[in-house]
C-alpha cells in the first residue's frame, strides 16, 4: 500500500464565509483553523497547504464565555527593557475586532512558516457584515 500525498497541482481551495454573530470565540477559532489547514478533507497532507479560504464577517459580535471580557488580556513587548504592553479583550474588540479572531486562530495553528503562511493567505476577517470577496462565491458555513 502506498501513502497518498497531495500535490500542489491537485489541491483544490474552496471559499467559505462564516458569520461570527453570537458564536463563541474559541469554538469558532478551532473550526476555522481546521478548515484553513485542510484537516476536514480526506486529502490532508501535514506538510502542504491544502486548506480552504475562510471569510469571517461580523467579528465585532463574537461572544466570549465566563469573565473573559474583564480578565483576558493580550501581551506584546515593544523591544525595550521592561516595556510590556497588555491590552484587554474588551478594548481590542472595541478598536480592532478582527485581531481577536486572528489571534485566536493563530494560536491553534502550527508554529512555523506553514502556519504563518496559511493564516496570512487563507483567513480574511472583517468587523462588519460586508466583505470584498463576493466574486469568489463563498459558500456559507454553519458552525452553530
pLDDT tens for 7-58 read: 999 999 999 999 999 999 999 999 999 999 999 999 999 999 999 999 999 9
Helix 97-106 to helix 25-37 angle, to the nearest 10 degrees? 60
Give the distance, in angstroms, between the CA of residue 81 and the centroid of all CA atoms in the same chain. 31
Domain at 58, CATH number: 3.90.1180.10
C-alpha cell at 79: 523591544
Domain count of the chain?
A: 1
Cβ partners under 8 Å of residue 77, min gap 6: 83, 84, 85
Residue pair 62/101 in contact by the 8 Å Cβ criterion: yes
3-state secondary structure of 127: coil
Integer distance in angstroms from the first to the last C-alpha of the chain?
39
Res. 143 pLDDT band, cuts 50 70 90:
confident
pLDDT tens for 65-94 read: 999 999 999 999 999 999 999 999 999 999
Within a domain: 114? yes
Within a domain: 35? yes
pLDDT tens for 96-124 read: 999 999 999 999 999 999 999 999 999 99
Within a domain: 88? no
For residue 21, give its domain range: 14-63+98-140
Section 128-141 average pLDDT: 96
Amino acid at each position: 500500500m502506498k501513502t497518498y500525498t497531495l500535490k500542489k497541482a491537485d489541491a483544490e481551495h474552496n471559499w467559505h464565509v462564516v458569520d461570527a454573530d453570537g458564536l463563541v470565540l474559541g469554538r469558532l477559532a478551532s473550526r476555522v483553523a481546521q478548515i484553513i489547514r485542510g484537516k476536514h478533507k480526506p486529502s490532508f497532507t501535514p506538510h502542504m497547504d491544502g486548506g480552504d479560504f475562510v471569510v469571517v464577517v461580523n467579528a465585532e459580535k463574537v461572544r466570549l464565555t465566563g469573565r473573559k471580557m474583564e480578565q483576558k488580556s493580550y501581551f506584546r513587548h515593544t523591544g525595550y527593557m521592561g516595556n510590556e504592553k497588555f491590552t484587554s479583550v474588551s478594548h481590542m474588540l472595541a478598536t480592532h475586532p478582527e485581531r481577536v479572531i486572528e489571534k485566536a486562530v493563530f494560536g491553534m495553528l502550527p508554529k512555523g512558516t506553514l502556519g504563518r503562511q496559511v493564516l496570512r493567505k487563507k483567513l480574511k476577517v472583517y468587523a462588519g457584515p460586508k466583505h470584498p470577496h463576493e466574486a469568489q462565491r463563498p459558500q456559507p458555513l454553519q458552525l452553530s
